[in-house]
Chains A and B, each alone.
Chain A
Amino acid sequence: MQSCHKLDKINIDESKEKVVLVGNPNVGKSIFFNYLTDSYVSVSNYPGTTLDISSGEFKDYIVLDTPGVYGVSSFNDEEKVARDIILSADIIVNIVDAVHLERDLFLTQQLIDMDKKVIVALNMMDEARSRGLEIDLEKLKEDLGVEVIPTVAVDNKGLAMLSDTIHNAKKGNKSLSSEMEERLEDISEKTENNADSLLILEGDQYVASHFNLEALDFREEIYNKRRNRVNNIVENILTKVENNNSIGDKIGSLLLKPLTGIPILLVILYFLYQFIGVFVAQTLVGITEETIMIGMYEPFIIDLVSNFVSTNSLLGKILIGEFGVLTMTVTYIFGLLLPLVAGFYFFLAILEDSGYMPRIAALVDRGLNYLGLNGRAIIPMLLGFGCVTMATVTTRLLGSKREKIIAIFLLGLAIPCSAQLGVIAGLIAPLGLKYFIIYVITIFAVYAIAGTFLNKVLPGKSTDLLIDLPPVRLPRLKNILRKTYLKSKYFIFEAGPIFAMGAIGITLLKEGGILYWIQEKVAPFIVGWLKLPKETTEAFIMGIIRRDFGAAGLNSLALTSDQTLVSLIVITLFVPCIAAMLVMIKEQGFKQALMVWLGSWFAAFAVGGIVALFI
């Protein structure tokens, strides 16, 4: 019976032997493909997917490229396509990243276990050497039982040797236990080839159904055994020479030590504040929101819509009123949020790609343990200074539900988003250092007390921090811009509709007189307890939609220094915005989101009142 593949559906000469390039993502397969095939390349869409397969000729072979995969299976479209092409291969050129042998050799061993003829191109040998990795090539050849060619593809090194020795590809040393070998033989009586049989044994239902068989459930057992073998091989062939002389290693070491790491972190946070809170939130947003959106876009859209709809009608107010879907919503999303979110993700991408983020997590791990979190929680916390909504989504990174509850509560309570930070910075700066220090200490104290309280009250304890420390490196601008674009786009599509719904809701409340009614009811509390003027109520009500909107509302009020401080503390600790609340409901359920919301009300007014009493 034929192997399970669909290559007859793409334009491949089946009479020729097929050389298939296989490797993990980003190991440089395309360089090998271009070298071997020169310019004789054709690209075909793979049936049933959006993936294109490149093929070309090399000597008497057909060369096929495959999507980067970590193993041969069917977890996604890329893997299914790679699997089918691999199953049809006569010879496999397996490109392995010499820097990540533990990761990449799993696929190598799986290809060998599939009984395929394999030749290994050990790529990025230069980077391995520069990181102090010494690889015993002869021992690796011996352990795998196949030819291994060292290469540096970007410099064209080793490629000629590889192309000259492709015909030497052979079957290697397997990792399967004798029991699995027996099972494999049984299945192969029906499939007539070991490659398909192994995948059936590993639970691949697609391959099994091709042969009218049931997939078996030995994947984990086989994978674990293969992993052990790969780890043993790597231990045998790899020597790490201490190489702490490189600049990257030196910087990495400084970033991790508390004595140097904490001051560096503070400097970086200061730059973050200068970049987001000052440059983006004030200068850039001043142009995008004030000049472009409010100065140019809003008059244009109001003029346009008022030709068709009366501005005094309910529809007119919903569309182009004070909280209009086409005015305030669009202005906020594109004039305010987009620059802030993009600016923050640009900075964050630099921290991520430079390898700094995991080091911050390791550095602050012990401190966050007191709040029931581990160092990993620094990622949503830092994100929260950009946008609490997006940060709430990233609490999925945390290890347990308990940690998620604590992180989401702290995000909702005491982390002001970048837009709010911008407004707060503008209001507090003229008051002087004393007020700034009281503000920072108050917010930090609330954050620490709330976290410590939740850590005591909630059952369980923080999980241990397990995190890989990648090498410190210079980030690539292309990757940073791509990440920034994708995350900003995701945010706009997620938050946009929610924001529009919130705007419609607040317009209806205002038109129904409910907004005014609330203002009148809570006014005595605002005046009596917080010692603020009655008009502040309106800013707090606006703060329910978005906290920065509420903070901006304070700007237009005539407040004393003490009143400004109290109102800023209240608005900082105030309820999360509507978008953040909806994400919290999605992530943690209605009950817990409501608890965060009510807890924020309580904390904001209790702390605000206490500060008002003492200043």
Chain B
Amino acid sequence: MDCTTEGKRICPTCNNEIEDPDILRCPRCNKLLMMKCSECRKCSFFKKM
């Protein structure tokens, strides 16, 4: 799925903020990140930039 979000993903384990939508694991704590979604601005795991 193509992610069109303008938001940052926030790692649920360590709170690291990730801009790159293609990253699968949090670079900091190595935890799997939530999947991308086309409407993730409404998702609580994402923070609008």
B38 at the interface (CB under 8 A from A): yes
With A70-B13, A401-B39 as known contacts, state yes or no: A220 contacts B18, CB within 8 Å. Answer: yes
Check if A396 is an interface residue, CB within 8 A of chain B: yes
Which A residues are CB-close (under 8 A) to B32?
466-468
Contact with B along A189-224 (1 / 0, CB 8 A): 000000000000000000000000000000110011
Q: Is the C-beta of A226 less than 8 angstroms from some C-beta in chain B?
A: yes
- Among B13, B14, B31, the one with the most A-chain Cβ atoms within 10 Å of its Cβ is B14
Max chain A C-beta neighbours (<10 A), residue from B32, B43, B45: B43
Closest residue on chain B to residue A399 by CB atoms: B35
In chain B, positions 34-49 with a C-beta closer than 8 Å to chain A are 34-40, 42-45
B residues 1-49 near A (Cβ < 8 Å) are 1, 13-20, 23-24, 27-32, 34-40, 42-45
Chain A interface residue bracket vs B: 20 to 34
A355 adjacent to chain B (CB < 8 Å): no
Pair B44/A396 contact, Cβ less than 8 Å:
yes
In the complex the two chains form, is B24's CB within 8 Å of A466's CB? yes
Q: Which residues of chain A in 90-120 are interfacial with respect to chain B, using CB atoms and an 8 Å cutoff? A: 102-103, 106
Q: B residues within 8 A CB of A220?
A: 18-20, 27
Complex CA–CA separation, A71 to B13 (angstroms): 12
In Å, the complex CA distance between A223 and B19 comes to 12
**Cβ-defined contact, B29 with A103, below 8 A:** yes
In the complex where A224-B27, A396-B45 touch, is A75 in contact with B16 (Cβ < 8 A)? yes
Q: Contacts A71-B16, A106-B27 known; A466 to B35 CB distance under 8 Å?
A: yes
Within 8 A of B (CB), among A450-488: 460-461, 463-464, 466-468
A-side contacts of B23, CB under 8 Å:
224
CB < 8 Å: which of A226, A227, A396, A463 contacts B1? A463
A287-330 with Cβ < 8 A to chain B? none
Closest B residue to A459 using CB positions:
B38
- Interfacial chain A residues near B15, Cβ < 8 Å: 75-76
B14 lies within 8 A of A400 (CB): no
Inter-subunit contact B37/A463 (CB<8 Å): yes
Q: How far is the CB of B7 from chain A (nearest CB, A)?
A: 13
CB <8 Å contact, B35 and A227: no
Query: How many residue-residue contacts, CB under 8 A, span A and B?
Result: 72
A466 to B33, CA, bound (A): 9
Expressed in whole angstroms, the minimum distance between the Cβ of B46 and any Cβ of chain A is: 11
Q: Is B28 within 8 A of A223, CB to CB?
A: yes
Measured between beta carbons, the chain B residues less than 8 angstroms from A103 are 29-31
Cβ–Cβ contact B27 & A227, under 8 A: yes
Per the bound structure, the CA–CA distance linking A220 and B42 in Å amounts to 23
* CA distance in complex: A402, B36 (Å): 12
Q: Are B43 and A401 in contact (CB under 8 A)?
A: yes
> Given the interface contacts A220-B18, A396-B44, A400-B35, does A460 sit within 8 Å of B1 by beta carbon?
yes
Closest to B13 in A: A70
The distance in angstroms between the C-alpha atoms of A121 and B21, with both chains bound, is 35
Q: Is the interface of A mostly helix, strand, loop or mixed?
A: loop
Q: How far is the CB of B31 from chain A (nearest CB, A)?
A: 7
- CB A86 to nearest CB in B, in angstroms, measures 15
Q: Judging by beta carbons under 8 Å apart, are A468 and B31 in contact?
A: yes
Q: Return B39 CB to nearest CB of chain A, in Å.
A: 4
Select from chain A the residue with minimum beta-carbon distance to B19: A220
Q: For B40, list chain A residues within 8 Å (CB).
A: 400-401
CA distance A71 to B14 in the complex (A): 8
Across-interface contacts of B43 in A (CB, < 8 A): 396, 401
Distance between Cα atoms of A40 and B27 in the complex (Å): 38
A51 CA to B10 CA in the complex, in Å? 24
**Closest chain B residue to A589, Cβ basis:** B42
Quick one: given A71-B16, A220-B18, A468-B32, are A226 and B27 in contact (CB under 8 Å)? yes
With CB as the reference atom, state the residue of chain B lying closest to A467. Answer: B32
Contact B31 A106 (CB under 8 A): no
CB < 8 Å: which of B16, B19, B20, B35 contacts A464?
A: B35
The residues of B that contact A71 with a CB separation of less than 8 Å are 14, 16, 28-29
Per the bound structure, the CA–CA distance linking A467 and B18 in Å amounts to: 19
In the complex where A223-B16, A396-B45, A463-B1 touch, is A70 in contact with B39 (Cβ < 8 A)?
no
Cβ–Cβ < 8 Å partners of A219 in chain B: 17
Contacts of A402 in B (CB 8 A): 37
Are A70 and B29 in contact (CB-based, < 8 A)? yes
Q: Determine the distance from Cα of A466 to Cα of B15 in the docked complex, in whole angstroms.
A: 19
Distance in Å from the Cβ of B23 to the closest Cβ of chain A? 8
Q: Which residue of A lies closest to B44 (CB)?
A: A396
Chain B residue contacts of A396, Cβ below 8 A: 43-45
Q: Which residue of A lies closest to B25 (CB)?
A: A227
Q: Which of B14, B19, B36, B45 contacts A70 (CB 8 A)?
A: B14
Given A75-B15, A106-B28, 20 additional A-B pairs, CB 8 A: A24-B29, A70-B28, A75-B14, A75-B16, A75-B17, A76-B15, A103-B29, A103-B30, A106-B27, A220-B19, A220-B20, A227-B30, A400-B37, A401-B39, A401-B40, A463-B1, A463-B35, A466-B24, A468-B31, A468-B32
Binding site for B on A (CB under 8 A): 24, 70-71, 73, 75-76, 102-103, 106, 219-220, 223-224, 226-227, 396, 399-402, 460-461, 463-464, 466-468
